[in-house]
Amino acid sequence: MKITVYGAGAWGTALAIAYAPDHDVVMWGRDADALALCERNRVNQALLPDRPFPAALRLEADLAKAAAHAELHLIVTPVAGLRAICEHLASTGNAMPVLWACKGFESGTGLLPHEVVADTLGETHPCGALTGPSFAAEVAAGQPTAITLAARDLAQATLWADALHRPRLRLYANDDLIGAEIGGAIKNVMAIAAGVSDGLGFGLNSRAALVTRGLAEISRLGLALGARQETFMGLAGLGDLVLTCTGDLSRNRRVGLMLAEGKPLAQILKELGHVAEGVLTTRETVARAQRHAVDMPLAQAVDDLLSGRMSAAEAVNDLLARSPKIE
């Protein structure tokens, strides 16, 4: 299959490395100079320095040429870059299926990725989400990983999952697209909260409570938006949440750890050097929860912390002061 991977960040590079041995893969990146450096070195030195590119992997800085190559578009930019690529595909009349591996809400509109795709390419365009517990470095290293491929049409999801399934990158088809996207988006918010908890030294009991109550908040909003409960018990829900809240490779957890140190958000993002989707997703999560009258105290606390309305200690004290609830 001819696959174009859009996005030469860590995750885009990892997926291109994973699929190039079995498919005709082209990787596009918006930074032509950075892409040229990757081409010269045949490695993404900045993000995955220990993972050389397969010989078959080709790099392309021209978006039109990259798009024309594809029988399957795999968009692995941050959510902020999804609309522009879909608009380009729409302008050329490109009808090939679109998958995305970005997680979150579009800033400003509050749209989930599938809503951005529908807004640009139309409601009937074949599309789906690649999501689940997956760190780029481990996928690039060929370490066993299991993720979800979700689409509204289960037959399409199964077809794409079969095509992209590899022995060490296992794909499970799912037709709850909203649930898969909600799980992938809001787990980043909860990972920031977990990082704060760990950074303040609250221990493993606190982390377990946070993950559990975080899953409850994710499920509440997901169900309000039309998702299915069982999705949140699977890879796209609990699996991704546990990995991101506990793994040392989690960017969003690192944001929380640095917030616990009292560092300002601007400094944290500069030091991080990568996109942490949870930072922008938090605001949109709280806005959606308010529109649907869904109680999400953990997400609200993270939003208060990121916006500077509360310190880490104040946000924790506010949560602990809540009255007892029935689980």
Angle subtended by helix axes 251-260 and 177-199, to nearest 10? 30
Q: Whole-angstrom Cα distance, residue 55 to residue 72?
A: 20
Q: Which residue has the tokens 């109680």?
A: 295
For 286, the token pair is 């709280």
Q: Whole-angstrom Cα distance, residue 327 to residue 315?
A: 22
Task: Give the number of other CB atoms < 10 A from CB of residue 212.
Answer: 12
For 319, the token pair is 């949560």
> Among residues 2, 65, 103, 187, which one is catalytic?
187
Q: Whole-angstrom Cα distance, residue 176 to residue 280?
A: 24
Query: Is 200 in contact with 260 (CB distance < 8 Å)?
Result: yes
Distance of alpha carbon 163 from the chain centroid = 21
Query: Is 151 in contact with 127 (CB distance < 8 Å)?
Result: yes
Residue 187: active-site member = yes
Q: Which residue has the tokens 């692995």?
A: 76
Q: Whole-angstrom Cα distance, residue 94 to residue 89?
A: 5
CA distances from 320 to 159, 206, 325 (A): 47, 11, 12
Residues annotated as catalytic are 187
